[in-house]
Chains A and B, each alone.
Chain A
Amino acid sequence: MGVITVSSLAKTFPGPVEALTDIDLQIEDGEFVTLIGRSGCGKSTLLNLIAGLLPPTRGTITLDGVVVSEPRRDVAMVFQQPALLPWRSVEANVLLPAEIMGLRGAGPRALELLEMTGLTAFRKKRPHELSGGMQQRVALCRALLPRPKVLLMDEPFSALDALTREELAVELQRIHLDLGTTIVFVTHSIQEAVLLADRVVVLTDRPGRIRSLVPIDIPRPRSFGHNAHLDEVAATAARLHDLLH
């Protein structure tokens, strides 16, 4: 299970800066939700709150009915930067959570994940020998190693070039379909939001509130290539565009 319930959540930083207010959101098990909004609207803050890295000012977040008050080992994170350890091989980077959490026999799981993301041939390489897209795949494998219930992704593709981004977006859909992990994905790209999400959460400018929840029923796998749903993708993107302006 991986049900996230956010109720009457607000976060104010010292200053005071009101980052988020009146957030009510229910994310279902296995759902793929993207959070979209302009920069500074508090979407990353919301992700950090769900991760238990920040305490809420008001309101609560629960995961499977348990209040989130600190980080949990069944919630994994991927950031904009791959945040790999430069002295470790790809494989050793993927195994980092196993070492920290004391998981035994994670070796085969790591190889399986590397196989799934096409990195098997690179497993002995150091991160700097890999392209940005490959490094981010390694970060994804590392996050998935302990079989998390929830995967939190903070603009994971925004440092990559457009082609690699789309490639990874397609790959992430496949992985989500295979594993059924609940995914909360922060982005400022409308295309990415449409491509990936079961539901898009549109946030207002600061203080961030939920402006709209947009379900996306376009069949998967989605891509920007020629396919039967090109018009639907375009129409949904246009709608999100209007909601953000």
Chain B
Amino acid sequence: MSRVALPALGAALTVALWWLLTVAFHIDPFYVPSPADVVQTFWRTPGFLLAETWVTLQRVLIGFALAVTGGLVVAVVLAASRTVERMTMPVLAAVNAVPKVALAPLLLVWMGFGDSPKIVLVVLVSFFPVVVATMAGLTSAPADLRKLVRSMKATWWQTFVKVRLPWALPQIFVGLKVATPLAIIGAVIGEVVSPDRGLGSVITGSSASSDTPLAFAALVLLALAGVALFYLVAAVERLVVPWA
């Protein structure tokens, strides 16, 4: 009950506070529209906004899937070999430290418009949390357990499949939960820098035409997509990691 009711109540209170502030301070909808203005704007062109949401979501999902797959593979390779880890860790840390926003214009130069630069940006921002969390997870099995499987003369593969990977799953999911909102941010940055379609492009366009309520409608849809993705990952986690 409270698992549904409390989050719903929290969301309702936030919207109420937003509404209250716009009314109490007589804020011009041109700067901050009220929730009612936003809903009204959405119902003006629901089909259009949902279609753009779907475009963004597709980019997020494809990029996220690529980042997770790549992140898991890279983490496993790094966790398997200390030599490789020591060699590549500084490079990975350096690449991770580069602000991805700064890469967006470059991606536009290299790839032009279309899906690819956005998907690449999604991969870039959500890849590292997955790598870091998976590596931490793969090295987190307790010392006694590692000693135990060594004493049984388990092979590397047996140790990996039967102990280290399942042991890493809860931490891998922490990484996935950190990466989901980043994936959305990545897609939107890509769309803002090279607008074609998607909610990021809608926001860029609405600013150009001073349609603040439309920008807010797009932001709300992005937020909802983020919440949906987060809870989707959490639901998968409960299925895959029921013991944690």
Contact = CB atoms under 8 A, between A and B. Distances in A.
Q: Is the interface of A mostly helix, strand, loop or mixed?
A: loop
Interface string A72-87: 1101110111010111
Given A83-B142, A85-B163, A85-B166, A128 B151 contact: no
Contacts of B149: 100
B151 A71 contact: yes
Contacts of A72: 153
A126 interface: yes
A210 to B, nearest CB: 24
A132 to B, nearest CB: 14
A73 B153 contact: yes
B151 A77 contact: yes
Interface string B157-171: 010001100110000
Interface in B133-179: 142, 144-145, 147-154, 158, 162-163, 166-167
Contacts of A79: 144, 147-148
Contacts of B25: none
Contact of B152 (A48, A97, A126): A97
Nearest to B148: A83
B30 interface: no
Contacts of A235: none
A43 to B, nearest CB: 15
24 contacts: A48-B147, A53-B150, A70-B153, A71-B150, A71-B153, A76-B151, A77-B148, A77-B151, A79-B148, A80-B144, A83-B142, A83-B144, A83-B147, A85-B162, A85-B166, A85-B167, A86-B243, A86-B244, A87-B241, A96-B152, A96-B162, A100-B149, A101-B153, A128-B243
A232 interface: no
Nearest to A71: B151
A83 B145 contact: yes
A53 B145 CA distance: 13
Q: Is the interface of B mostly helix, strand, loop or mixed?
A: helix
A99 B152 CA distance: 10
Interface in A33-76: 48, 51-53, 70-73, 75-76
A100 B162 contact: yes
A77 B166 contact: no
Given A86-B243, A87-B243, A128-B243, A77 B162 contact: no
Interface in A78-125: 79-81, 83, 85-87, 96-97, 99-101
A71 B142 CA distance: 19
B166 to A, nearest CB: 5
Contact of A101 (B148, B152, B243, B244): B152
Nearest to A87: B243
A129 to B, nearest CB: 10
A73 B152 CA distance: 5
Given A79-B147, A81-B142, A126-B243, A87 B152 contact: no
Contacts of B144: 79-81, 83
Contacts of B163: 85
Contacts of A128: 243
A96 B154 CA distance: 10
Contacts of B151: 51-53, 71, 75-77
A101 B145 CA distance: 16
A28 B142 CA distance: 32
Contacts of A83: 142, 144-145, 147-148
Given A77-B148, A83-B142, 6 more contacts: A85-B145, A87-B242, A99-B162, A100-B154, A101-B153, A128-B243
B58 to A, nearest CB: 34
A73 B148 CA distance: 11
B156 to A, nearest CB: 12
A108 B194 CA distance: 66
A97 B152 CA distance: 7
Identify which of A52, A97, A100, A101 gathers the most chain B CB atoms within 10 Å of its CB: A100
Identify which of A48, A75, A87, A101 gathers the most chain B CB atoms within 10 Å of its CB: A87
A80 to B, nearest CB: 7
Contacts of B242: 87
Interface string B50-88: 000000000000000000000000000000000000000
A97 B149 CA distance: 8
Interface string A147-161: 000000000000000
